[in-house]
Structure 1
Amino acid sequence: MDYIHDFALEIAERTNSGQDVNEGPLYQEFIKDRQAFQYTESEVFTPRVRGLWDVFHRNWWKRLWVIQEVALAKQPTLLCGLKAEAFHNLKIVIEALIRSKQPVEVLEFNTLFIAHTFHQFHVRHMIETGTMSTVSPPGVKALDMLNATRNAQATDPRDKIYGILGFFGPPETDPENIFPEPDYKKPAAELYADVSRAIIVSTKKLDVMSSCYGFFKSSVPDLPSWAASWNDTPVQYFDVKAFNAAGSSNAVYEGSDNKLLMRIKGRVVDSVKHPGQIPESIGYSNGACIELWRYWWKFASVLDSYPTGEAVSDVFKDTLCWGNSVDYTRLQIGDNKESFDAWLKILVGTDDTGTAAKHIFNGEESFKYAHRATSVTWGRNMGITDKGYLAMVPIVTKAEDKIVIFQGSKLPFIVRTEDGLSRLGGPCYVRGMMDGEFATEDAEAMDELEWFTLK
């Protein structure tokens, strides 16, 4: 706790005097053992940094119900043992650690270090800056708040909804409150479906479905594939708002007597022809990622050309990053070229898996690309479509699964239909389909749309 206080003072003093925060002795102590941490974890830290790690990993940070205590308090104070520290000083430390103007590999370490505390500071920042005060249309604030608190924990999954109602006024006076009244007799699956539907109806967009992976088993029994599970960590690692697959269209939906079904309109634009082969068990260690990436590179290299006219290697570079940079902004032409080239040179070299992993994850340039690619690799596979596109798809995608662009969606989706009912497999990344190239916006093209009854 004393280290937090002294660290905040150092950051403030160096910032006010125009000195580089990175060169401060306490900051240097903080990042000194970051590379050793990758292999031996927190035991390598000095006693003070280890103490900071312990404070930031207390279970208190993980609890959903305390987020509003921090976010809505005028001057919150953190108490630990016999020590107390103004929350403002913690904010100074956190913001300094995750500021963008520092090397990617340092930012990665810092982000991991403070990960458990992030939603506390993120939600309070949203309140302080007013980004949550006036949002139009209704439903946007609800989705933003649900996403911001998603990794917080609650014993009852229904409290992932009810535990954030303190940020909203009564439904009759607050148009942003699109939530149902608390009802602990209602199953979590039905509650999550009600909230997901309310967000779709209010926003007329399908952003809420962008984290839905219906082929994965949810911790919420009987959850529909189209309803977001706020009780599970999303397999995302990209900014949904960076894409615009369906152009400016709005969602077209119908009600159903069955609350667990959702009828929406979309267009089948392609099908998965060849999903890559995936081992039965993947540990996602550095070595496992190397083996997977080597296979995917060979898998993608069978394409002689690409429908957009781009080089297959450029498409691969973009696809394995889901079109986003390390700070989750949209990749621009030429971005990641140096780091990708350094990564690829080692990947296709003659080193064995272990040696290649050390060179890639310890190399200053190659690590930048590897770090971004690793986050997207989790839970996903690479596939080739009937039309010759390269796609990043949910890991259990099968051949003949459809690629659908729903009206009002920012991403294409993998959809599997059996006996008239469809299951949403999850969003996919397809270079050449992410910016409205297959959007259905004019009246004549509306005939190409079809109804999907999602279960």
Structure 2
Amino acid sequence: MEHDMDEQIPSYVYSPIAPDDFRVLKILEVHPQIKFSLEAFSIYEAPGYEALSYAWGTSPEMEESLCNGARFRISRTLGQALRGIHAHSGGGWIWVDAICINQTDAEEKAHQVAGMGELYSCADQVLIWLGDAADQSDLACALLPELTEKIWSLKDSEGGWRPLSTDDIVAQGLPHPDDPLWCAALLLYSRAWFQRLWIVQEVVLARACVFLCGLQQIEWHVVVNFAIATSKSFFVSNIAGLHIKAMGEDRVSRSTNGIRLIRNSRRLKDSLEDDEKEITGLQATMDIMQSQGASVKVDYVYAVRDMLPDALRDQMVVDYSDEIKRNYGIIHARFFRQCLERLSDWPSLRFPPNAGQKNIPSWCPPWGSGWNYSYLPIIGCHAGRPAAISPWSSSDTVQEIVPFSPVFHGSTNVLDVRRILRAIKACSAHISDGADRHERLLGVLIGQCGWLKSPQFSGRPDGDVLDGFVSFLEHLAANKEHEGDADPVPVNLDTAEYFLDQHRFWRAYLNLIMIRWPGRSFALTTNGRMAIVPCHTKPGDTVCVFLGGTLPQVLSRHEDGVHWKYVGPSVVDGIMEGEVFDTKEEWIHNKEIFFLK
């Protein structure tokens, strides 16, 4: 009988709204069925309201709700979010994108999406729904503020983060590294909300925001400070490796991504409050676009539009027409080109190469392809002198490739010392004799040819640098404790800290190897230069110096014989410090122009 009555209730039909209007809802009941009222107001005369931020999810499950007395189908995920925030919202007006925007009207959706930044910035606060309680989240939420404060206490008097033993960590009042509390805290950052691209503007533009998980509530600054602290402390950042079996490899990866997202969101929020940090904010935006997910390709640009500089934002017109969705590469390329003009540098964006996606040019990043290290972050590298960003000049050709074996074990994410040793010895066998060849090789392998000028390498050990590093690695590799195990396991944290504290020089080097090597190969050029290049570089590819750029770039000839394809950034010994501009070679006066496709 009740089912028959539901069938007789008409479905809700949206009424058109004026350009300056937006809808908000008020939750009336959540049990047994969600009931809410929906009204439209002018953005200039709207009542106070809160905005909901949640993960839409991909589940097809739906449930029936009542909107102004009419049937309204919502996703099961949204239903859980509305029930979850009801106890926290105080019964006031709430803006929820999935309901307050007519998702079936492309014109209205485009107009409303273009104004979403203003809607979030005008809200009294943003309610961030992480989901129901699970994985000891109640305990993690309750103790996260105290845990964060104690991690920050690990800073030394000079502002650095000293390495500590387990006993020291416990003495500071922190849980033992094996304590499940660490796992529970890290699992919070692995939740679906932290994997979305749209959530960035929802927190960056908010006046205030609060995280809700089950019945628990966490302030924004606590979530931010924990994310920053875990990345600053070498000891704490390695604790996740001890909980891989409990968390699972996928959730460890998602947790790492979530922590990085919060850090980048903080950078972006700071940049919007300080005009001098515009470039920092734009680079943070690029990192976010690379690592986060969006269900519609054009949303990789639209989701960050309201956080862009005014001149760039005005050129990104929101359009959800079928034609634009099919040709999303046009939007991506237009956006990235505008970014290049503002940054006046290509590799500082630190994106992985676009490996054959036909819908976008080779020089445009494959947004949302997942965070990986198939690129070279810039630390202390300076190619050439400041100049205009065009034209460019060809300088050398790749002759020989020596691929790196993966230095991480796939299932445990453990750095494999033996593989590093094999790679270094293989590279050494391919370089010519010379008084400084070992030092130059190490500089290339860490992607930092000017490495001796860097603060982290100021305490260089005496004697042959390469021999010293090889001896250090052989000492670690000689540990027979786990010999014969099917999978490598992490070294005990205390043991690792002992070695790394004794060899601060090598700690900095290993940190760079973890960033530089995955997805890359060692190479020799026809002029005898050593280089690190993208792993899909082929013999015959061209190494170019882009005037005004930061790193040499590798290009490959396009099949049409006229254009070139962008392969990726490289580190090349001998042309990293502007040496080519000190020569009187004829090519400097006959620059070449490469047309990228």
Q: Give the deviation of 1:270 after TM superposition.
A: 1.6
Equivalent in the alignment of 2:469? 340
Q: 1:129 to 1:442 in 2, by over 3 A?
A: farther
The 2-side partners of 1:374 and 1:14 are apart by 24
Q: Give the deviation of 1:32 after TM superposition.
A: 1.3
Q: Give the deviation of 1:347 after TM superposition.
A: 8.4
Q: CA offsets per residue over residues 127-152 of structure 1, 9 Å max, x none?
A: 5534664148x877444422244311
Contact 1:140 1:199 in 2 (8 A): no
The 1-side partners of 2:415 and 2:155 are apart by 42
Moved more, 144-153 or 204-213: 204-213
2:292 equivalent to 1:152: yes
- 1:28-39 equivalences under 5 Å are 30=175, 32-33=177-178
Q: 1:347 to 1:412 in 2, by over 3 A?
A: farther
Equivalent in the alignment of 1:122? 263
Rg (Cα) greater in structure: 2
User: Residue type of the partner of 1:301?
Assistant: A
Contact 1:7 1:27 in 2 (8 A): no
2:347 equivalent to 1:177: no
Contact 1:394 1:426 in 2 (8 A): yes
Contact 1:275 1:381 in 2 (8 A): yes
Equivalent in the alignment of 2:205? 72
Equivalent in the alignment of 1:59? 192
Q: Give the deviation of 1:372 after TM superposition.
A: 3.2
What is the TM-score of this pair, normalised by structure 2?
0.59
The 2-side partners of 1:17 and 1:245 are apart by 37
Q: 1:206 to 1:330 in 2, by over 3 A?
A: farther
Q: 1:298 to 1:124 in 2, by over 3 A?
A: closer
Gaps of 5+ in 2: 1-137, 242-251, 501-505
The 2-side partners of 1:432 and 1:379 are apart by 23
User: Residue type of the partner of 2:287?
Assistant: N
**Larger RCO: Structure 1 or Structure 2 (Cα < 8 Å, ≥ 6 residues apart)?**
1
Q: 1:290 to 1:240 in 2, by over 3 A?
A: same
User: Residue type of the partner of 1:302?
Assistant: H
User: Residue type of the partner of 2:474?
Assistant: K
Equivalent in the alignment of 1:85? 218
Give the SS at the match of 2:313.
coil
- 1:234-245 equivalences under 5 Å are 234-236=372-374, 238-240=376-378, 242-245=380-383
The 2-side partners of 1:424 and 1:14 are apart by 43
2:550 equivalent to 1:430: no
User: Residue type of the partner of 1:225?
Assistant: S
What is the TM-score of this pair, normalised by structure 1?
0.75
Give the SS at the match of 1:126.
helix
2:366 equivalent to 1:229: yes
Q: Give the deviation of 1:386 after TM superposition.
A: 1.7
Instruction: Calculate the aligned-residue CA RMSD, in Å.
Output: 4.4
Q: Give the deviation of 1:115 after TM superposition.
A: 1.8
Equivalent in the alignment of 1:420? 562
Gaps of 5+ in 1: 34-44, 253-264
Tell me the number of residue pairs that the alignment of Structure 1 and Structure 2 aligns.
Answer: 415
Contact 1:406 1:412 in 2 (8 A): yes
Q: 1:343 to 1:158 in 2, by over 3 A?
A: farther
Give the SS at the match of 2:545.
strand
User: Residue type of the partner of 2:574?
Assistant: G
The 2-side partners of 1:58 and 1:325 are apart by 40
The 1-side partners of 2:312 and 2:449 are apart by 30
The 2-side partners of 1:400 and 1:124 are apart by 41
Q: Give the deviation of 1:58 after TM superposition.
A: 0.7
Equivalent in the alignment of 2:525? 385
Equivalent in the alignment of 1:40? none
Give the SS at the match of 2:580.
coil
Q: 1:334 to 1:270 in 2, by over 3 A?
A: farther
Q: CA offsets per residue over residues 328-363 of structure 1, 9 Å max, x none?
A: x77646558698344443589899996799699666
- 1:49-448 equivalences under 5 Å are 49-99=182-232, 102=233, 104-109=234-239, 114-130=255-271, 133-135=274-276, 141-168=281-308, 174-177=310-313, 179-184=315-320, 185-186=323-324, 187-207=327-347, 210-214=350-354, 216-218=355-357, 221-232=358-369, 233-236=371-374, 238-240=376-378, 242-252=380-390, 265-276=391-402, 290-291=418-419, 293-305=421-433, 310=436, 312-323=437-448, 332=457, 340-346=469-475, 364=496, 365=499, 368=507, 369-418=509-558, 419-439=561-581, 446-448=588-590
Equivalent in the alignment of 1:36? none
